[in-house]
Amino acid sequence: MVDSFDEPIFVTRPLLPDLHLVNERMREIWDCKWVTNNGLQHKELQEKLMDYLVTDHLSLFTNGTMALLLGVKSLHLTGEVITTPFTFPATLQALDWNGLTPVFCDIEPDTLTIDVSKIEALITEKTSAILGVHVFGNPCNVLRIQEIADKHGLKVIYDGAHAFGAEINGKPVGSYGDMTMFSFHATKLFNTVEGGALVFKDKSLVAKLDLLKNFGIANQEEVVLSGLNAKMNEIQAAIGLETLKLMDEERKKRHEVKKEYEKQLANVPGVRLLTHLENKASSYQYLVIEIDESSFGQTRDWLHECLQHHNILTRKYFYPLCSDFTWYNHLVSAHPRNLPQAQKTVKEVLAMPFYGDLELASVVRICNIIKKYQASISGVAL
Ligand code: T4K
């Protein structure tokens, strides 16, 4: 089959601000010779993000993983945390590095988020929290999760790495639960190259997180706890400040790209789009399809391989399931029979190329290639 792209079409491309504007900020940083440790760019970004995300408490970090790891630490969790196996390894690693045991809960078939109907059966006297992931920007069932947490006295943390700027029930995504982490990695809608943030309810955590991300140093005379170095630097913050200005435009462009995918893939047997949300409800972070082998005629892995030959570099996020990692697969909750939906989803989901600068004509070409493959399997001539 012909019609390959000359250049690779990646799953995403970083949103990069005008280099002249970044250079102006670099000049400010160079002039004052303050390059990290809570400088002016950091302070400005913190304020602007508090406005953008509509929150009273926000702490910046060097990346999303460190934000989640130290956020979990700040809540003094113990024992077991109920979470999802269908996520990026960092979600689980934040628990590991706090000495916490994950208890894997299956996921819902439509949103791919933690299945709230299965959480309560997993609660034991050791459970201290529920860690949900708004995977691909699909929101968890936050209201039910809060009800369960209130009933059992549990903390609620969200990995919102994919949910920047989204709303749930008309309220900012970070307003739910005790704490939400956002990732500002280069592959994210809003990025600071590497970076991340926590938003949270409890005001006392501001000072605690400042200590945790700065070696526990309270002042030049006192080190009051065992922290780490997880500070966002001035160059990251400066890039973030310029990138933040591009959000509205980027979201509009991604909206158009998403519409084109929806139009093109609407009637392809066995292909279902899993990113349903739009406008303020959507983070426009990923565009994910599900391949149903019985009606498509071939597996997700087969399509993934075919698309690679056309220089279309789709990704099998989040394969393998975290519960299958060698250091978890002995856990009862990690057993495949306890996670039937996650085991199914992880074989069916494919992240498609999705970013604002992806031309609509390229989306049409990508979808035509998928349609041609599907037709060739089912023996239909296109
Ligand atoms: N929780 C969840 C649910 C997450 O998804 C993540 C991160 C985290 C927590 C942790 O947050 P951070 O600590 O990362 O802030 C990427 C990202 O590195 C990772 O941030 C992200 N999730 C994950 C879903 O995607 P990889 O291994 O897929 O990245 P990579 O290098 O293969 O990049 C993907 C594609 O992006 C490339 O094929 C091309 C394009 N790309 C990438 C980079 C880095 C570019 O065009 N330019 C670039 O500079 O993990």
| pLDDT tens-digit series, residues 58-86 | 999 999 999 999 999 999 999 999 999 99
Whether ligand 1 lies within 6 angstroms of the CB of 314 is answered as no
Report the nearest-CA residue for atom 39 of ligand 1: 10
If you take atom 38 of ligand 1, which residue's CA is the nearest one? 10
Could you tell me the distance, in angstroms and rounded to a whole number, from the CA of residue 91 to the centre of ligand 1?
A: 13
Of 121, 127, 63, the C-alpha closest to 90 is 63
User: From the CA of 186, how far away is ligand 1's center (Å)?
Assistant: 7
Closest C-alpha to ligand 1, atom 23 = 88
Per-residue pLDDT, 2: 58
Rg (alpha carbons) of the chain, rounded to whole number: 21
What pLDDT shows up at residue 279? 87
Which pLDDT belongs to residue 381?
60
314 has a pLDDT exceeding 80: yes
Q: Which residues contact 147 (CB under 8 A, 6 or more apart)?
A: none
Q: Concatenated DSSP letters for 197-226? A: EEEES-TTHHHHHHHHTBTTEEETTEE-S-
Instruction: State how far the Cα of 21 lies from the Cα of 92, in Å rounded to an integer.
Output: 37
Q: Under a CB-based contact definition with an 8 Å cutoff, are residues 316 and 349 in contact?
A: yes
Answer yes or no: is pLDDT of 147 > 60: yes
Which among 62, 88, 131, 349 is the best mutation to test ligand 1's pocket, defined by most ligand atoms within 8 Å of the CB?
88
CA of 33 to the centre of ligand 1 (A): 31
Residue 319 above 60 pLDDT? yes
pLDDT at 24: 98
Q: Where are the beta strands (DSSP E) in the chain?
A: 9-10, 58-61, 80-83, 101-104, 127-133, 155-159, 167-168, 171-172, 179-183, 196-200, 217-219, 222-223, 271-273, 287-291, 312-313, 349-352
Residue whose token pair is 């945390």? 81
Any atom of ligand 1 within 6 Å of the Cβ of 71: no
Would you state the pLDDT for residue 276? 80
Q: How far away, in angstroms, is 14 Cα from ligand 1 center?
A: 10
Determine whether the shortest distance from the Cβ of 180 to ligand 1 is under 6 A. no
Ligand 1 within 6 A of CB of 185: yes
Closest ligand 1 atom to Cα of 90: 9
- Whether the full predicted model's pTM is greater than 0.75, yes or no, is yes
Decide whether any atom of ligand 1 lies within 6 Å of the 13 Cβ. yes
Q: Is 272 exposed, middle or buried (0-12, 13-18, 19+ CB in 10 A)?
A: middle
**How far does the centroid of ligand 1 lie from the alpha carbon of residue 134, in Å?**
16
Residues of the chain above pLDDT 70, percent: 99
What percent of the chain has a predicted confidence (pLDDT) above 90? 96
- Over residues 23-34, the mean pLDDT reads 98
- Our answer on whether the CB atom of 186 is closer than 6 Å to any ligand 1 atom is yes
Ligand 1 touching residue 65 (CB < 6 A): yes
Q: Please tell me if the CB atom of residue 192 comes closer than 6 angstroms to any atom of ligand 1.
A: no
Give the per-residue pLDDT at 85: 98
Q: Tell me how far apart the alpha carbons of residues 365 and 76 are, in angstroms, rounded to a whole number.
A: 51
Q: What is the mean pLDDT of the chain?
A: 96
In this structure, what token pair is assigned to residue 292?
Answer: 């149903």
Task: Please give the pLDDT value at position 382.
Answer: 62
Answer yes or no: is the C-beta of 272 below 6 A from any ligand 1 atom: no
